[in-house]
C-alpha cells in the first residue's frame, strides 16, 4: 500500500522564466485545499537540497504571485547534487552528495519532490528518482526544446517578447531604410526564432536546425530591397551557424555545468549583410529580456495546470514521471522519455514550409 502523502517539496531549477510562480501557486493551493498536504519550498534549485535551505510554504505565500515573473524560491543552473565542486589542497574536486541531498529532503518530511525545470534539472530529478526519492517533473524552458510535451511553459511569454521586439524594429527599419538583425535565444532549438519570425513577418529566419549560407540570405534580401521594399528584418537564433561552420561562442566558463556561452551571431550576420548589400544594417540582441517580466495568460494557465496535475500525480503514487501537455490534455509521461532527446524544429515541418511559402528565407 502506498504511504499516505503528508508533505511534498518543490524546487525550481535551471534558468528562470515567466510562469514559475504560477506552478508554485498551483502546487501549494492544490496540495492544501484538495489534499491537506504540506508543501516545503526548496530555495535556489538543487542548491537548497545540498545546503539545506528549505522552508514551509503556506497558502498565503502563494497569494498574489500568479502574474509575477521569476520565482519566489529562487533558482540556480549551476548546482548538481551528483557533482558538487569543493576545494581541497588548492584544487577543485567534485563529490557526489546525492545521498546527503535525499537525507536533507527526508529530514524535512518530504515524501515526494516536484522538480520544475528543463532537461538538465529533470535529468537530475530522474537520477534522484533512481536513488529512491519520489520525483515528479514539470517541464519549463523558454526554448521549448523538451521532448514528450507539446509545449513548455515560459515559451509563450518569451515568444511574445520577441514578437513585440520585431514589431518595434519594423517601424525604425522602415523609417531609416535599414536591414535590422535581431538575435534571440535558442541554443540548439530554433522555436523562438522560427515562431517569432513567422509572427513578426521576418524576411529571413536563421535557426540551428538549418545551416545557412550568408550569400543566399543576402541574395533573398537583395531581391526584396531592389524589388521596391526599403527595409528588411532578419531573425537569428543564438545557436544558428553557417553551413560548414560553428556556433558563435562568446565565452567559455570553466567548471560550469553548461560552460559554453553563445553570443555574437547577430553581429556576424549583420556585418556580412552590410558588406554584401551595401545597406546600413543594425543588430539588436534581446538576451535575458526574453526570460523576464510577467507571464502571458497562456503560460499562467499552463503553469497552473501543470502544478495542479503534479500534485495529483504525487497523491496517486506516481514517481519518476513528468507532467506534459498532449493536445488539450495534461497527463504524465516517464521522465526517461522526456529527457531522452531534445525537441528540435523539423526542417521540413509545417511551420518551416509555411514560412517558405511566404518567401521567408532560411539561407539554405
Residue numbers annotated as active site: 143
How far apart are the C-alpha atoms of 48 and 121, rounded to whole Å? 13
- β-bridge partners, 235: 182, 205
How far apart are the C-alpha atoms of 279 and 123, rounded to whole Å? 47
Judge residue 343's burial from the number of C-beta atoms within 10 Å of its C-beta, 0-12 exposed, 13-18 middle, 19 or more buried.
Answer: buried
Q: Strands 329-334 and 321-326: what pairing?
A: antiparallel
Task: Report how far apart, in Å, the C-alpha atoms of 59 and of each of 23, 137, 294, 344 are.
Answer: 13, 22, 21, 38
Helix (H, G, I), strand (E, B) or coil at 280: coil
How far apart are the C-alpha atoms of 324 and 146, rounded to whole Å? 10
How far apart are the C-alpha atoms of 208 and 211, rounded to whole Å? 6
DSSP state of 61: G
Phi, psi dihedrals of residue 45, rounded to the nearest 5°? 65, -140
How far apart are the C-alpha atoms of 311 and 318, rounded to whole Å? 10
- Of 228, 148, 156, 229, the C-alpha closest to 191 is 156
Amino acid at each position: 500500500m502506498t504511504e499516505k502523502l503528508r508533505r511534498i517539496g518543490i524546487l525550481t531549477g535551471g534558468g528562470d522564466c515567466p510562469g514559475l510562480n504560477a506552478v508554485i501557486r498551483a502546487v501549494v493551493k492544490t496540495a492544501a485545499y484538495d489534499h491537506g498536504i504540506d508543501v516545503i519550498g526548496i530555495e535556489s534549485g538543487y542548491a537548497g537540497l545540498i545546503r539545506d535551505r528549505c522552508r514551509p510554504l503556506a497558502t498565503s505565500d502563494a497569494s498574489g504571485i500568479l502574474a509575477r515573473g521569476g520565482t519566489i524560491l529562487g533558482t540556480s543552473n549551476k548546482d548538481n547534487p551528483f557533482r558538487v565542486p569543493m576545494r581541497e589542497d588548492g584544487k577543485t574536486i567534485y563529490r557526489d552528495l546525492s545521498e546527503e541531498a535525499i537525507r536533507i529532503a527526508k529530514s524535512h518530511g518530504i515524501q515526494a519532490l516536484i522538480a520544475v525545470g528543463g532537461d538538465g534539472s529533470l535529468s537530475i530529478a530522474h537520477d534522484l528518482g533512481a536513488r529512491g526519492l519520489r520525483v515528479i517533473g514539470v517541464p519549463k524552458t523558454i526554448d521549448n526544446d523538451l521532448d514528450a510535451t507539446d509545449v513548455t511553459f515560459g515559451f509563450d511569454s518569451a515568444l511574445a517578447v520577441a514578437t513585440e521586439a520585431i514589431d518595434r524594429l519594423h517601424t525604425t527599419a522602415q523609417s531609416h531604410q535599414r536591414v535590422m538583425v535581431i538575435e534571440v535565444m535558442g541554443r540548439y532549438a530554433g522555436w523562438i526564432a522560427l515562431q517569432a519570425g513567422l509572427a513578426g513577418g521576418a524576411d529571413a529566419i536563421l535557426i540551428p536546425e538549418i545551416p545557412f549560407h550568408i550569400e543566399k540570405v543576402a541574395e533573398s534580401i537583395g531581391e526584396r530591397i531592389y524589388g521596391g521594399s526599403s527595409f528588411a528584418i532578419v531573425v537569428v537564433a543564438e545557436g544558428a551557424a553557417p553551413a560548414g561552420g560553428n556556433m558563435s561562442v562568446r565565452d567559455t566558463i570553466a567548471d560550469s555545468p553548461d560552460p559554453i556561452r553563445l553570443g555574437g551571431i547577430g553581429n556576424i550576420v549583420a556585418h556580412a549583410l552590410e558588406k554584401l548589400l551595401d545597406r546600413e544594417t543594425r543588430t539588436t540582441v534581446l538576451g535575458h529580456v526574453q526570460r523576464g517580466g510577467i507571464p502571458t495568460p497562456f503560460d499562467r494557465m499552463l503553469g497552473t495546470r501543470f502544478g495542479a496535475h503534479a500534485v495529483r500525480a504525487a497523491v496517486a503514487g506516481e514517481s519518476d514521471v513528468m507532467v506534459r501537455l498532449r493536445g488539450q490534455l495534461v497527463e504524465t509521461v516517464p521522465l526517461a522519455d522526456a529527457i531522452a532527446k531534445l525537441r528540435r524544429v523539423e526542417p521540413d515541418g509545417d511551420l518551416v514550409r509555411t514560412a517558405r511559402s511566404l518567401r521567408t528565407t532560411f539561407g539554405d
